[in-house]
Chain A
């Protein structure tokens, strides 16, 4: 799997957009970018994934650069409940391929 690089931590103001960067410069053509988050003491929660096009769902938006070497997860209006560790994971597009978690970014949303 391609490795990812994320900042260890970031703060965000409640109600503002949170932009979480991720570098994956060695990504292969058949690898997707997945984002998960883990709120304290809970299981990882799926947020969004994409291959090369930008994606949006009810939780977030995913912007992938044209060369696919980096991406940004956008939480449009951060709330205190968005405080969590966010993981950017590159995963082969295969049916039962494992997820390889790194250390992620600890996001703290402040009132």
Chain B
């Protein structure tokens, strides 16, 4: 069964550094998403992406965040200058046309 893959599984970064989280969505999917989950808290929506542009973003997704689909297979989330409060699990998801979103197993981001 096709799946969403995310790399790395764990990223440790110094505060103030840039980090890029990578995702390979399911190959025929057209809609892409990032969510995050701070330890012990709910899964929170960050951004949705379709047709090479952001379709919706949450208040969390400020100017420090950006997304890109650099080629036909990857979908990336960049955090420009990381803060301690960015420590969380980051989940990528993809969907076909309005169908269920399928999630990867996440990248655990630890900011020191």
Contact = CB atoms under 8 A, between A and B. Distances in A.
Interface of A: 34, 38, 41-46, 49, 87, 93-103
B67 to A, nearest CB: 13
Given A101-B42, A101-B43, 10 more contacts: A42-B106, A43-B93, A46-B103, A94-B98, A96-B50, A98-B33, A98-B58, A99-B35, A99-B93, A99-B101
B91 A43 contact: yes
A81 B112 CA distance: 34
With a 10 A CB-CB cut-off, give which of A41, A93, A99, A103 has the most chain B CB atoms.
A99
A34 B48 contact: no
Interface in B27-85: 31, 33, 35, 42-45, 48, 50, 55-56, 58
Main SS class of interface, B: strand
A98 B103 contact: no
7 contacts: A43-B91, A43-B103, A44-B91, A96-B31, A96-B48, A101-B42, A103-B42
B100 interface: yes
Contact of B56 (A41, A96, A101, A103): A96
B106 A46 contact: no
Contacts of A99: 35, 43, 45, 93, 101
Contact of B50 (A34, A44, A95, A100): A95
A38 B89 CA distance: 13
Contacts of A87: 43
B42 A43 contact: no
B100 A46 contact: yes
A93 B106 contact: no
Contact of A102 (B42, B45, B98): B42
A34 B100 contact: yes
Contacts of B103: 43-46
